[in-house]
Structure 1
Amino acid sequence: MARWTSSADTVRAVEAWELATTGPGAAAAPSDLPLDLRWLPAAVPGTAAAALADAGAWSFERPQGLHDKDVWYRARLEGQGPETLRFEGLATTAEVWLDDRRILLSDNMFLAHEVDVELSGEHVLAIAFRAIADRVAAVRPRGRWRAPMIAGDGLRRMRTTLLGHMPGWCPPVDVVGPWRPVTRIRGGGVRIREVGLRAEALDDQGGRLRVRVDLEPSAAAPTLAALCCAGAEAPLRETAPGRLEGELNLADVDRWFPNGYGPQPLYPVGIRLGEAALDLGRVGFRSIEVDRGTDGKGFALVVNGRKVFCRGACWTPLDVVSLNAAPEECRQALEQVRDAGFTMLRVSGTTVYETDLFYALCDELGILVWQDAMLANLDHPADDPAFVSSLVAEARHFLSRNQSSPSLAVFCGGSEAAQQAAMLGAPPDCWSGPITREVLPAVVAQLRPDLAYVENSPFGGPLPFAADEGVTHYYGVGAYRRPLEDTRRAGVRFASECLAFANVPEAATLRRLLPGPVGDPLWKRRAPRDSGAAWDFEDVRDHYVALLYGVDPVALRASDPERYLDLSRAAVAEVMEATFAEWRRPGSPTAGGLVWFLRDLWPGAGWGLVDAAGRPKSAFSALRRAFRPVQLAATDEGVNGLALHLLNDTPRPVEALLSFACLREGAVPVARAERAVALSPRSALTLSSAELLGGFFDVTYAYRFGPPSHDVCVAALRDARSGAVLAEAFHFPLGRGDARQALGLSARLDRDGEGWSLVVSTDRFAQSVHVVDDAYWPEDNWFHLAPGHEKRVRLRPAPGASASPLGRVEALNGLASCPYEAEP
C-alpha cells in the first residue's frame, strides 16, 4: 500500500512517544499495564533498542534482549472527528490499541497499514510488540535445510529482518518497535485508495506517462482531472466507477542514465483533481534490458541501449540500532558513493527495505538499485497461504511506493536461499520454488515490468553459485584465498556480492572508537566470520598480506602492530584495484561487481568499505580509483607483456596523452613511451606495452633472460588540453615486497576557495601513500605516486571538525613520514 495524499489533506506525525517493557503476555490490553511501570521517551520512527540506548540501558557491549519481552509504546492523541492513522512499519508482531480498543494486528514489519478512526477529545494510542523468542526458536515444522548463519529456524515463517539474528557478522540488536513513521491524516480532498504510475522511454527518444487513480468507494470522481508533467498535461477520464486513467506523451524529455554514463534528468509529475493537487514525485525515462551474451549464460544490464558495467557495493543500514539515519546522513552517504564512481548499490535480503528518501536520492544521483526481496538463506514456506499472501502484499507495497523510480533496476527474489540449499546437499528441485519462480515475478510484471527480475542471488549454472554463469557471489579472491589470477580464471559474469575482507579503519577511527590493541577480545568479536567456521575474515586479509608483501602477518602483528595495520590496509586496496582492473578490461565476460559491503554496522575491522563513523577506509579509496568513468588499468599478460586498458564510459569523447615508463629502483626510467589517444564516447581500447614501446622489452619479467631491469611500471592518462591526470595504473613485475628506503617524500598544504589540499611529491616511486589526519579526510588515499610529478589531494573536514589540517603523509615503502600543519 502506497499512501497518496492531496494538497487538501493534513498529515502530521504522532509525537511524544513513550516506551516500557513487560514480561511476555503480562498485559493483554493497555488497561492491564501496571501503574508503576517505568516509561522512557522513545523516538518514532525508531526501535526499542535505540530508545534504551538513549536512556543508557543498551549498548553494543551490553545489549538488552527484547525478543523475550513485550514492548509497549504509547502516545496521546487529541482531536475531533474522522482521521486515518497510518503505520509505515511495525516490527514485528504488533497490536495497536486506541484507548482500550484493539484496532490493528500486524505480523509483517515490511507492510504499511491504515486505520480509520473517529476522535472525540483525548485518547491514548498504544502499540504492543509481542515477544517472538519462542517463534524464532521453533524447529517445527522443520525446513528442508537449515541455515547455519541464522540463529533461529522459526524465522523462515516470519516476516521480519534477519539483522540481529546473524551472530557471525551482525551486532546483537533485537529489532522491535515502530521503525517507520506513524502519522495521522485528516482528509480534506478527494479520497484516494491507490495510484498506478508508469514512465516509459520510447524508441524515438520521447517518453510516455500512464496513470491510474482509484478513488475510495465513497468518493465521487471530480469533474475536471488532469495529469501534468514537463509543462504538458492530459485529461484523466473515468474508465470505471471510481477509476480515472490517462496517458501523456512527451517528445521533449531526455533519458536518465546511471552515474558516469550520462545525465539524470528528473521530471515532476502531478495530478489535478478538481481543486486539489496530488504530487506524484519525480520520474525519469529510461529502458532496461538484460543481455545474456552470445552463449545465453551471461548477465549484463543494458540501459537505454548501452551496456553498463555495474560497479558498487551492498548497502547496509546507516544506523543498525534505530534503522533510521538522519536525512542529511543518508544524502552524505549516497553523495560519497556517487563521487566515488559507483553505479549500483544492492539492498540485500538480509537487511530491510530502505526509506523513500534513499530511492529518491538514488534517482537524483544516478545510482542503480538492485533490490532483494527480504528473503535469505532459509527454506521459506511456499505451502503456507498466509505467508505467501503477506509476502505478496509486502512486494506490492514496496513496488507501489517506488513505481516511478528510474534508479530501481533489478528486483531479486532474495539472497542465498538457492545457494544454501545446494551447498547443504539438497537436490536441485529444492534450489528454486514457486515463491521466487512464479509469485514474485508475477508481482513485478504487473507493477514494474521495466525491471530486470532475478530469481535469487546467486543464481544460474549447474550450481546456483557457479561463477561463470548468471549472477554469483564471488569469493574466490577473498574468503577462499585464491590467487589474484582467479578473477580471470573464474570467468565471473556478474558478482552481486564479492571481495569481503575485514577492512581496517583509519588510525583516527581506531583511536576514537576501538582504542584497544589489535587482537584483543573486543577487536576479535567485531571481526566478521561465517558462523561455525574456524577462521574469520581477518585471517582472509592476512593471507593476502603474506601473498603481496612476503611477511608473516601473525609475527608482524606481535612485533610491530602499526606496520601490520598499514600492510593490512594496503593489501585490501591492492586486491580491490587488481580485481576490477581485470573485470573491466575489454574482453572480460564480467558485467558487474558489488563489494560486500559498503559500511560497517558497528565499530571495528568489518566488511565495510566505509567505517561505522562514515570515514572511508583504504578499500573505498581503491575503488574510487577503480570505478573512474574514464579509466586506465593494467593487467599482466605474461609473455605477451603488459596490457593497458583505456575505458571511457561517458557520453563525451576524450582526447588524451598516454605515457608509460619502466623504472629501476623506483627512479630511473629504463624504457618509456608516449602516445596520443582518442576515446570515443562509451568506448574501450587495449594497447600492449610492446605496441607502445615499439619493440621487445621484458616489461612483465616473463622471459627472465637476465637480472630484472626494473621494479615498477607506471602508466598515466592525461587530458590532452589541460594536462590533468585522468587515471593512472601501476605494475610490479617483481612483486610489492616489504622493503623501505628513503624516498624524498614531501607534502605541503594549499588553500583555495574550495578548502584545503595537500600537494604531494616524491623523488622515488612511493608505494601506498596515505594521509594520517584526525580532523580531515583525503579524497584519495593509499595511492601510488611516481617521481617527478605533484599530486594534489583535496582534504575534506571530518564531521564536527573545527581544527585546521594537522597530520602526516607516509608511504608504505618509505623510511620517514612527512608532517604537515596549517600556519596559524
Structure 2
Amino acid sequence: MTSLKTVPLTTEGGAAWTVRAAAGPVPEGITTPVAATVPGEVHTDLLAAGLIPDPFDGDNEGKLAWIGRTDWSYRTTFDWAADGHAVQELVADGLDTAATVTLNGTELGKTCNQHRGYRFDVTGLLVAEGNELVIDFAGPVRTAEELAESLGLWPHTNHHPYNAIRKMASNFGWDWGPDVATAGIWRPIRLESWSDVRIDSVRPLAGLDGDRGVLTTHVALAWADGATEGTTVTVEVGGTTVSEKVAAGTGTVQLTSTVESVDAWWPRGYGEQPLYDVAVALDDRDSWRGRVGFRNITLNVAPDKDGGPFVLSVNDKPIYVRGANWIPDDAFVTRLNRPTYETSLQDAVDAGMNLLRVWGGGIYESDDFYDICDEQGLLVWQDFLFACAAYSEDEPMRSEVEAEARQAVTRLSRHASLAVWNGNNENIWGYVEWGWRAPLAGRSWGEGYYFDLLPGIVAELDPRTPYSQGSPFSYDHFIHPNDERNGTMHIWDVWNQVDYTTYRKYKPRFVSEFGFQGPPAWSTLVSVVHDEPLDPYGRQMLVHQKAFEGNLKLERGLGEHLPKWKDIDDWHWTTQLNQARAIVYGIEHFRSLFPLNTGAIVWQLNDNWPVVSWAAVDGHGIRKPLWFALKRVYAERLLTVQPRDNELVVAAHNDSDVAWSTEVTVTRRSTGAGSEVLARETFVLEVEPRSATLSSLPASVGVPGDAAGEYLEVRGGDGSTAYWYFIEDTALRLSGDAYAASVTPTEDGYDVTVTAAALAKDLALFPDRLDPAARVDSCLVTLSAGESHTFHVSGAAAPAQVGVPVLRSANDLVS
C-alpha cells in the first residue's frame, strides 16, 4: 500500500467552515452562522464578520464578556474519495477547549484540554459526498465555573477559576492581559488515511560524545488491526543512515546514529547554531522530517558555600543568562505565524538576550517559535502550564495533565534550544506563603505533578534536558522556595511594595522573575484609550491597566527618583523612564555580583495587546525605553558604578570568550554649562573571559564636592560607558537648555542630531507621536557638554523640527 494520505480540513486547505452561537447570552443580530477561519477563534471570526468591535479598543473588553459564556458550533461539509486504505482518522492538533466532535451524526468524542491534540477513528463513517463535521464548544468561562463547582474550588489568582480547566490561564485575564476567553479550532485539523502502519511520533534526541554527534531517535508506531507485514524504519542525519526491520505490532523502535566530527550547537554569544536535517521513513508508507542541533545541557543546583546555585551549562560551559519571560504574543494566538514570531524574537536577539522563559500561564508555543529559537541560539526555558494557583490531582484532571505533558515533551524535546523543563510558576511559593493551606484542608494542590509525575515524564522522554520543580524554587523541601541564597528567585516586593533601590539589598543566585511597569508607546496607547481628557486614572485608561492599583504603584514608584508629572505627556515619559531605570538598577547590581549571580530573566519581553505593563516591547511592536535599556545592560561587556563598603567601585562583567583590556577614564564633572572637569583618574581594566572585576575609585573622583551639581562619567577606550549620580534627579541641578537638536531627511526617514551644552541626561526620541509607523534606533542617551548623538528614524517623513513631547530628557522633567 502507498504512503499515508492527508486531507487538510483547514480554511487554507480548502475547507469552508461556519460558526454560530448555539446557546447562552447572545445579543440580537448574532444568531445566524458566519464564515469561520480554521485554525481560528470565535472572537476573530466575529470580528472579521463585522459583528463585534475590536475587543482591544476602549472598554470593548467588558462589553464582549458574553462571548466566553456562550456555546459555539463550528461546522463544515466535505466530500471523500475512497482511497483503498484500511484506516481513516480525524486528527485535531488543538481544540479550545470543551468540545463535542460529531461526524455525520455520530459523536466521535468529547475533549476538555486546549494543550493537547486528539485523534478519532472515523473508519466506516465517511461517505462520498456531503460529510458533515460539527464541533460544538461549551462556553469556556461557564465551563470553568461549573468544573470548579463540581470538583471543588482550588485557590487561584484573578477572578475566574482558570485552574479548573486545562486551558491557557491568561486567556481568562491576567494583570497584563484582557479577559477574552476564546473558543475554536485553534490548531490544524485533518483527515489521515492509512493502512498497516504509520508513524505516531518521533523523538530525535541529539547529544555530544566528544566531537561526535549521537542521535537517539525514538519512533512510536501505530498499527492497523490485523496488520501482519512488518516495516523497515530508516533514519538519515548528517550523511549517515541507519535502519531496522521491525515486526508487525512493534510499538516503539530506537535507532542510534553517530555523526563524526559534528559541529556543536551553542546559545548565541557562545558559538554557532548548526542544525542538521533528520529524515525518518517507514518504507514508502509514512515519513517525518525535522532538525536537530547537537548539544549537551546540564543544570547545577548542588549546595555550595553560599547556599545553592542555579547554573545552566551548555557543552560543559556555564552560561550567564540574560533573558526575558515570554507570554503569548497576541491575546488571540491564532493570529500568530512564523513572520510574527520572527519579528518578536528578533526583539530578544537585538537586545542581547540568550534565553526566553515560556511562562506557565500561556501555551506550549507553535513549532515556528522553537524552530526560530534553534536558529537564533535563544535558549528556551519551558514551563509546564501551571501558574499562580493550586491544581487538583484527582481524575479527570490528572489524566489530562499526563496526556498533555507527554505530548508536549514528545513534540518539543528535539529542539536544541530547549534548556529547562520547569514544573510550574509560583505554585510552590503560593502553597508555602499565600494562605492556601487552610482552604485546601489537606487536599492535593499540584505537588504530585511537580515532584513526581512531570519529572518522571521528562526523565522517560527527554532525559537530556534538565528539569526544575518550579520557579521560584530553592531545590530543597526545607528551604523557603523564594530564598535569595538558593536556586531561583522572584523579586516582586519591588513594584508591589518597596522602592527599586531594594534590589541592592538582595544577593540572588538567579532571578527568574522581576519587573517594573511602564506605559506602551504613545501611539499605541491613544489608539485604544479615548478618555477626554486623557488621564492616568481615566475610565478607559484603567481598562488598559490590569495590575492591582497599577497606576498608583507607578506614581508611588517614582519615589525620590523623579518628580510627579505635570500633565499627561509628562506622566507618559516619566513612568516610561522610571520603568527603564528600575530594571537597569536591578540588572547592573545582579551582574556586579557575578559569579555569585548567574543570570536574570526580566518580566517581560512582550505584550499580548495594548496595555500598561511590564513589557519591553508593547502590543504594537514598538520598543519602549526599557527595551533600549535592556540592550545596554545585556551587552556582553558591561561597565557600571556600584557602591561597595562605603566606597564606589567600577564593576566590569565580561560575558564573552575574549579577554577585555582597555584604559578606563573616570571623570567627575559639573552638571552645568560646559560640564566642567573637576577631577579625573585613569586605570587599566583587565577582565578575563567570562569573568568580572571590581575596581575601587579614589576619593578624588568618588567623593563629590557638591552632590547636587556633579556626576561621574566612566569611559573605556573601547567605547564602553557608565555614569554615576551622587543624588536623585529631584535634587540634581540639570539645565533646562542643555541641548539643541537639528533634523536632516534621509532616504528611509530622517536623522535627529542632538548636541549638548551641559549634562543632557537620558535623551529619548518618540517619533511615533508624529507617525505611528516611525521607529527610532536608539534611546536613553546621556551626553556631556560638547558631545553629540544622532537618532535615526525610519518609516516616516522628516518634520521641520522636534521638541517636547517628541524629544525628551530627564532635564525637562526636573529643570
TM-score (norm 2): 0.87
Secondary structure at 1:73's aligned position in 2?
A: strand
Worse-superposed segment, 754-763 or 276-285:
754-763
Secondary structure at 2:130's aligned position in 1?
A: strand
2:17 aligned with 1:17: yes
User: Structure 1 residues 644, 749: closer, same or farther in 2, change over 3 A?
Assistant: farther
Contact 1:466 1:472 in 2 (8 A): yes
Alpha-carbon distance, 1:437 to partner: 0.8
* Structure 2 counterpart of 1:722: none
Alpha-carbon distance, 1:411 to partner: 1.3
* Structure 2 counterpart of 1:820: none
Contact 1:89 1:112 in 2 (8 A): yes
Contact 1:670 1:709 in 2 (8 A): no
* Structure 2 counterpart of 1:33: none
Q: Which amino acid aligns with 2:17?
A: W
Structure 2 distance, partners of 1:602, 1:508, is: 13
2:240 aligned with 1:232: yes
Alpha-carbon distance, 1:718 to partner: 4.3
* Structure 2 counterpart of 1:779: 777
Contact 1:92 1:129 in 2 (8 A): yes
Match of 2:539 among 512, 521, 529: 521
Structure 2 distance, partners of 1:807, 1:97, is: 62
* Structure 1 counterpart of 2:38: 44
* Structure 2 counterpart of 1:66: 67
Match of 1:466 among 455, 474, 483: 483
2:355 aligned with 1:344: yes
Match of 2:336 among 315, 325, 332: 325
User: Structure 1 residues 141, 232: closer, same or farther in 2, change over 3 A?
Assistant: same
2:371 aligned with 1:360: yes
Match of 2:97 among 87, 92, 95: 92
Match of 2:678 among 653, 658, 670: 670
User: Structure 1 residues 546, 654: closer, same or farther in 2, change over 3 A?
Assistant: same
Structure 1 distance, partners of 2:802, 2:328, is: 31
Structure 2 distance, partners of 1:233, 1:470, is: 42
Structure 2 distance, partners of 1:708, 1:539, is: 30
Q: Which amino acid aligns with 1:773?
A: P
Structure 1 distance, partners of 2:793, 2:190, is: 42
Q: Which amino acid aligns with 2:64?
A: P
Q: Which amino acid aligns with 1:621?
A: F
Contact 2:424 2:471 in 1 (8 A): yes
Match of 1:438 among 443, 452, 464: 452
* Structure 2 counterpart of 1:697: 700
Alpha-carbon distance, 1:637 to partner: 2.6
User: Structure 1 residues 735, 709: closer, same or farther in 2, change over 3 A?
Assistant: closer
Structure 1 distance, partners of 2:721, 2:152, is: 52
Q: Which amino acid aligns with 1:157?
A: A
Alpha-carbon distance, 1:110 to partner: 0.9
* Structure 2 counterpart of 1:267: 276
Worse-superposed segment, 518-527 or 10-19:
10-19
Secondary structure at 2:450's aligned position in 1?
A: helix
- 1:676-735 deviation digits (Å, cap 9, x = unpaired): 545443333332223xxxxx325154xxxx54496221223343xxxxx3x321111122
Alpha-carbon distance, 1:515 to partner: 4.5
2:412 aligned with 1:406: no
Worse-superposed segment, 306-315 or 462-471:
462-471
Contact 2:207 2:295 in 1 (8 A): yes
* Structure 1 counterpart of 2:106: 101
- 1:100-132 deviation digits (Å, cap 9, x = unpaired): 111232111111012243442221211001235
2:578 aligned with 1:571: yes
Contact 2:708 2:727 in 1 (8 A): no
Please, what is the CA RMSD of the aligned residues? 3.1
Structure 2 distance, partners of 1:804, 1:8, is: 60
Unaligned segments of structure 1, at least 5 residues: 1-5, 27-35, 531-535, 691-695, 720-724, 817-824
* Structure 1 counterpart of 2:741: 746
User: Structure 1 residues 321, 734: closer, same or farther in 2, change over 3 A?
Assistant: same
- 1:57-111 deviation digits (Å, cap 9, x = unpaired): 3324131423432200011212212543221111111111112111232111111
Contact 2:659 2:687 in 1 (8 A): yes
Contact 2:293 2:416 in 1 (8 A): yes
Q: Which amino acid aligns with 1:391?
A: V
Match of 1:421 among 406, 431, 443: 431
- 1:555-603 deviation digits (Å, cap 9, x = unpaired): x3xx422223222111111111111000011446332322222222322
Structure 1 distance, partners of 2:151, 2:433, is: 18
User: Structure 1 residues 651, 268: closer, same or farther in 2, change over 3 A?
Assistant: farther
* Structure 2 counterpart of 1:646: 652
Q: Which amino acid aligns with 1:375?
A: F
Worse-superposed segment, 284-293 or 614-623:
284-293
User: Structure 1 residues 795, 300: closer, same or farther in 2, change over 3 A?
Assistant: farther
Contact 1:699 1:733 in 2 (8 A): no
Alpha-carbon distance, 1:363 to partner: 1.1
Q: Which amino acid aligns with 2:715?
A: A
Structure 1 distance, partners of 2:751, 2:647, is: 40
Contact 2:196 2:223 in 1 (8 A): no
Alpha-carbon distance, 1:427 to partner: 5.2
Structure 1 distance, partners of 2:214, 2:228, is: 27
Structure 2 distance, partners of 1:336, 1:125, is: 41
* Structure 2 counterpart of 1:819: none
User: Structure 1 residues 239, 438: closer, same or farther in 2, change over 3 A?
Assistant: farther
Contact 1:74 1:124 in 2 (8 A): yes
2:70 aligned with 1:77: no
Q: Which amino acid aligns with 1:464?
A: P
Contact 1:630 1:647 in 2 (8 A): yes
User: Structure 1 residues 755, 803: closer, same or farther in 2, change over 3 A?
Assistant: closer
Contact 1:237 1:244 in 2 (8 A): no
User: Structure 1 residues 76, 240: closer, same or farther in 2, change over 3 A?
Assistant: closer
Match of 1:629 among 623, 630, 636: 636
Contact 1:765 1:785 in 2 (8 A): yes
User: Structure 1 residues 521, 793: closer, same or farther in 2, change over 3 A?
Assistant: same
Structure 2 distance, partners of 1:650, 1:311, is: 13
* Structure 1 counterpart of 2:561: 548
Q: Which amino acid aligns with 2:135?
A: I
User: Structure 1 residues 588, 538: closer, same or farther in 2, change over 3 A?
Assistant: farther
Percent identity, please. Answer: 24
User: Structure 1 residues 443, 473: closer, same or farther in 2, change over 3 A?
Assistant: same
Alpha-carbon distance, 1:440 to partner: 0.7
Match of 1:810 among 792, 795, 807: 807
Worse-superposed segment, 648-657 or 118-127:
648-657
Structure 1 distance, partners of 2:479, 2:715, is: 42
Structure 2 distance, partners of 1:148, 1:478, is: 18
2:627 aligned with 1:620: yes
Contact 1:215 1:221 in 2 (8 A): no
Structure 2 distance, partners of 1:803, 1:400, is: 52
2:509 aligned with 1:493: yes
Secondary structure at 1:624's aligned position in 2?
A: helix
Secondary structure at 2:370's aligned position in 1?
A: helix
* Structure 1 counterpart of 2:711: 712
Alpha-carbon distance, 1:773 to partner: 0.8
Aligned positions of 1:300-311 closer than 5 A = 300-311=311-322
Q: Which amino acid aligns with 2:212?
A: G
Secondary structure at 2:200's aligned position in 1?
A: strand
- Number of residue pairs matched by the alignment: 766
2:666 aligned with 1:660: yes
Match of 1:213 among 207, 211, 219: 219
* Structure 1 counterpart of 2:465: 451
Contact 1:500 1:597 in 2 (8 A): no
Alpha-carbon distance, 1:20 to partner: 0.2
Structure 2 distance, partners of 1:584, 1:627, is: 9
Structure 1 distance, partners of 2:471, 2:599, is: 13
Contact 2:668 2:701 in 1 (8 A): no
Aligned positions of 1:187-206 closer than 5 A = 187=194, 191-202=198-209, 204-206=210-212
Alpha-carbon distance, 1:387 to partner: 1.6
Aligned positions of 1:43-192 closer than 5 A = 43-58=37-52, 59-60=55-56, 61=60, 62-81=63-82, 83-117=88-122, 118-138=126-146, 140=149, 146-152=155-161, 155-166=162-173, 168-187=175-194, 191-192=198-199
